[in-house]
Amino acid sequence: MHDLDLLENTDTVNELLARYGVKFGIYKNNTFKEQLFPFDAIPRVIEKDEFAYLEKGLKQRVLALNLFLKDIYSEKKIVKDGVVPEDFIFASSGYMAECEGVCPSKDIYSHISGIDLVQGKDKQWYILEDNLRVPSGASYPMIARELCRRSSPSTFSHTKLEDNRNYSKLLKRTMDHVNTGGLTVILTPGRYNAAYFEHSYLAEKTGANLVTGSELTVKDDKLYYIKYNGELERVGAVYRRISDEYLDPMNFNPDSLIGIPHIYEVFKKGNVALLNAPGNGVADDKGIYYFVPKMIKYYLGEEPILNNAPTYLPFYEEDMKYVLEHFDQLVLKDVAEAGGYGVVFGSSMTSEQKENFIALLKREPRRFIAQEVIDFLDIDILEGNEMVPRKADLRAFVLMADEPLVWKSGLTRFSRNPDSFIVNSSQGGGFKDTWVLSQ
């Protein structure tokens, strides 16, 4: 489904994206560099029935992850019953002891989950990772679709596909569901954050106030927005786009200049909702990822609908043995890294690098997972005037309101390097729109 009119407008759409400031920023060598996120006009097309299958599997997964978070910060039954070893909870960089016994509004921990999937050449979908902290990326296909509609209206008048403009409605429904009474705000670290475009775009689309930490204050165990005239207005929900550790200098990192002192006490008392809840990092640790299929069986009594990529934990003796014997066929991932960092392919190492890595693996087995390299399905992209195949993944967005909601769209990221499996924007990838057919 390569619509000629749409393809001819690729440059126009990219120019408009640049004009609207659709960029992402990266810090490299202590400098902040902003760059455009290149858009490719050939959409990824997913049939209606296939997406219905994905939707079912994604809802199941996010329900289980939410139940896991609730359990881990309260009774820890899954640990007591020997399903997940203790080492994988308390040694996780995402586990926060401060969250013990704290229950968020409506018992929801991950309100916005970004689940990364790839489709193999066997046409099977595999989950690569779960992002439950501050997942970003929904704004890019939203605005790209808007600009494509504008530059090529005929394409959309004769194609039956799901309208992706409803993400803001789903997000508003999610924020309103947990709001404890008052304004809804989107908390941004500010102009120099990598995803600042997204923060401002989602605020505009949902009608939420875009604020920085200096515009919020705590008084009498409640959170307030400081209006332009100095008046205070109660805040009931904060969609925060800053990391846990910077959220509250009184409870977490004392050096944080972008957080709100005492906001965590307000949250603990149930007087404000924080989306996503602090402490979620324990559930999207790459070591915990291995246990998600077991969580689905444990909490829901169901077989997982969507598969993990085949994964090994060197923490277990038999898995370590397998990893050492098949080192060249595997990809090794540092469990605490994200954005395509900390990922190494056994086959691309020199014998000296291999030797050093294996020594590190034996010293710190909890630090790494190993996965089979999935042969991704290639997707066409436009390079100059020709179509070339490239590796791509899909970030699906699952929102948790009164029920789990799967956005019928998503962020398809692709590698611009023909030899690379790493598609992250921070590693130079581009993005496409994801069309979910409606019939």
pLDDT in tens, 213-236: 999 999 999 999 999 999 999 999
Q: Taking residues 98-104, what's their average pLDDT?
A: 96
Q: What is the pLDDT of residue 105?
A: 96
pLDDT tens-digit profile of 181-217? 999 999 999 988 878 889 999 999 999 999 999 999 9
Q: How far apart are CA 307 and CA 411, in angstroms?
A: 20
What stretch of H or E contains 403? none
Q: What is the pLDDT of residue 384?
A: 81
- Are the beta carbons of 381 and 387 closer than 8 angstroms? yes
Q: What is the pLDDT of residue 33?
A: 61
- Are the beta carbons of 151 and 175 closer than 8 angstroms? no
pLDDT tens-digit profile of 324-336? 999 999 999 998 7
pLDDT tens-digit profile of 282-313? 999 889 999 999 999 999 999 999 999 999 99
3-state secondary structure of 170: helix
What would the two tokens of residue 170 be?
């789903």
Q: What is the pLDDT of residue 299?
A: 98
Question: How many C-beta atoms lie closer than 10 Å to residue 372's C-beta?
Answer: 14
Q: What is the pLDDT of residue 91?
A: 87
Residue 25 in this model has a pLDDT that exceeds 70: no
Q: Taking residues 107-117, what's their average pLDDT?
A: 97
Q: Taking residues 371-390, what's their average pLDDT?
A: 88
Q: What is the pLDDT of residue 14?
A: 86
Q: Taking residues 387-413, what's their average pLDDT?
A: 95
Residue 132 in this model has a pLDDT that exceeds 70: yes
Q: Taking residues 391-411, what's their average pLDDT?
A: 96
Q: What is the pLDDT of residue 307?
A: 95
Q: Taking residues 80-90, what's their average pLDDT?
A: 93
Q: What is the pLDDT of residue 421?
A: 63
Regarding predicted confidence, which is higher, 24 or 94? Answer: 94
Residue 71 in this model has a pLDDT that exceeds 60: yes
Residue 37 in this model has a pLDDT that exceeds 90: no
Give one word for 182, left, alpha or beta, with left for phi > 0 and alpha for psi -120 to 50. left
- Mean pLDDT, the chain, rounded, equals 92
Q: What is the pLDDT of residue 339?
A: 66
Under 8 Å CB-to-CB from 185, ≥6 apart: which residues?
A: 208, 209, 210, 211, 216, 225, 235, 237, 238, 239
Residue 31 in this model has a pLDDT that exceeds 90: no
Q: What is the pLDDT of residue 29?
A: 61
CA gyration radius, the chain: 22
Q: What is the pLDDT of residue 137?
A: 93
Residue 74 in this model has a pLDDT that exceeds 80: yes
| Least-confidence region, from 12-21, 124-133, 226-235, 343-352 | 12-21
Residue 86 in this model has a pLDDT that exceeds 60: yes
Residue 415: band (very low, low, confident or very high) from pLDDT cuts 50, 70, 90: confident
Residue 416 in this model has a pLDDT that exceeds 90: no
Q: How far apart are CA 192 and CA 337, in angstroms?
A: 21
Residue 24 in this model has a pLDDT that exceeds 90: no
Under 8 Å CB-to-CB from 402, ≥6 apart: which residues?
A: 177
Q: What is the pLDDT of residue 28?
A: 58
Residue 116 in this model has a pLDDT that exceeds 80: yes
- Are the beta carbons of 413 and 424 closer than 8 angstroms? yes
Q: What is the pLDDT of residue 325?
A: 96
State how far Cα 95 lies from the chain centre: 17
Q: Taking residues 255-262, what's their average pLDDT?
A: 95
